Structure 1
């Protein structure tokens, strides 16, 4: 199980056409990111608790702004170095999404 990240300039299309809107991707922290986010309770936490490790989840720029704050707190309290690196990478992607009008951050689960 892993979660890859892709930042898109607009709503990504499925089935291979998503490359038209792809700004950048992160594919090296999938397992660690999934483990870090698996600790969150969907009903007790904010946006990041809703990321599906087995499916796809999209955040728009407003959702990314909220989730960014959550990711920063998670990264600060994380003691596992791989998970912390994954969360810091996530923060960068959330910041990019929040700063890019019309963009989406795509969490691609296994």
Structure 2
């Protein structure tokens, strides 16, 4: 089971005639799913809301708040694969937070 991450310049299926433009697609693999499952709490962390079986959307405000959570998550990772996946996640969160109107879509299995 893995989570893919798509960064859009607007809301996916947001009603624009041309639709949002995908800026980046990442496939960090199962390592991100494992790291999120081990180290996040859905009641306390935005990252814990990411559904490994469905789709989850973050807007730029969610991404900005989740960036600090991802930094803490990186320190708790136990394998290089997990660390690489969380570093990729942090990069996408930072890019989304810095791009007004952008969205991150987490695509679960």
Alignment match, 1:66? 65
Alignment match, 2:78? 79
What displacement does 1:21 show?
1.5
What displacement does 1:19 show?
7.8
Q: TM-score, normalised by structure 2?
A: 0.90
Alignment match, 1:108? 107
The 5 A counterparts of 1:84-95 are 84-95=83-94
CA distance in 1, matches of 2:20, 2:77: 35
Alignment match, 1:30? 29
CA distance in 2, matches of 1:54, 1:21: 24
Give the superposed CA RMSD.
Answer: 1.9
What displacement does 1:77 show?
2.3
Change (3 A) 1:85 1:13: same
Q: TM-score, normalised by structure 1?
A: 0.89
CA distance in 2, matches of 1:36, 1:48: 10
CA distance in 2, matches of 1:30, 1:10: 24
CA distance in 2, matches of 1:32, 1:79: 10
* Contact preservation (8 Å) 2:96, 2:102: yes
